[in-house]
């Protein structure tokens, strides 16, 4: 399959960005969860600015990689494959059918963590703790999806 120069350039850019975002997220995850994060440490964020910044970095990078993969790379790849432009949920279902994503529903659930980690934590440290632990425990889902798309783009570009 021959890609237009614009499409090839866009996909290459998104692959580079996603790769860097994975690296940065892995670093932020290591910083935020080693030593293990506890409910007590999350409850005390107001008194621990260093940890608050670390948590902010993890949250920001987790959400940023989700945005890049779900909102940019996936639609660009599907378009390059001749798929019509569609809403996120339809694209996720296509990604599942292509074998790039294990579960569209799981992705949607992880996507919903965004508001809990970004907005609701201000009022409820327990919601933040559970959301952070869920994001941390499912980091492999996000990275696997990103790497699957990156691999697919690389295969497409070698044709």
pLDDT in tens, 25-80: 999 999 999 999 999 999 999 999 999 999 999 999 999 999 999 999 999 999 99
DSSP 35: S
The CA dihedral of 89, 61, 152, 104, to the nearest 10 degrees, is: -30
Per-residue model confidence as pLDDT tens digits over 109-154: 999 988 888 876 667 889 999 999 999 999 999 999 999 999 999 9
pLDDT at 123 (0 to 100): 77
Identify the CA nearest to 131 among candidates 108, 106, 112: 112
pLDDT at 21 (0 to 100): 98
63: three-class secondary structure by DSSP: helix
Q: How far is CA 141 from the centre of its chain?
A: 9
Instruction: Tell me how crowded residue 90 is: count the other CB atoms within 10 A of its CB.
Output: 14
Does the predicted TM-score (pTM) go above 0.95? no
Residue showing tokens 């798309």: 149
DSSP 69: I
């Amino acid at each position: 399959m021959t890609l237009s120069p614009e499409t090839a350039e866009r996909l290459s850019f998104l692959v580079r960005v996603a790769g860097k975002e994975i690296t940065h997220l892995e670093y932020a995850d290591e910083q935020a969860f080693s030593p293990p994060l506890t409910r007590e440490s999350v409850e005390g964020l107001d008194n621990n600015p260093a940890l608050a910044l670390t948590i902010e970095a993890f949250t920001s990078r987790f959400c940023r990689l989700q945005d890049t993969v779900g909102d940019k790379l996936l639609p660009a790849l599907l378009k390059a494959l001749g798929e019509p432009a569609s809403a996120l949920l339809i694209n996720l279902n296509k990604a599942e059918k292509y074998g790039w994503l294990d579960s569209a529903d799981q992705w949607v659930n992880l996507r919903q963590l965004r508001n809990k980690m970004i907005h609701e934590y201000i009022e409820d440290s327990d919601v933040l703790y559970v959301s952070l632990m869920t994001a941390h425990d499912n980091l492999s889902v996000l990275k696997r999806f990103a790497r699957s798309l990156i691999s697919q783009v690389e295969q497409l570009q070698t044709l």
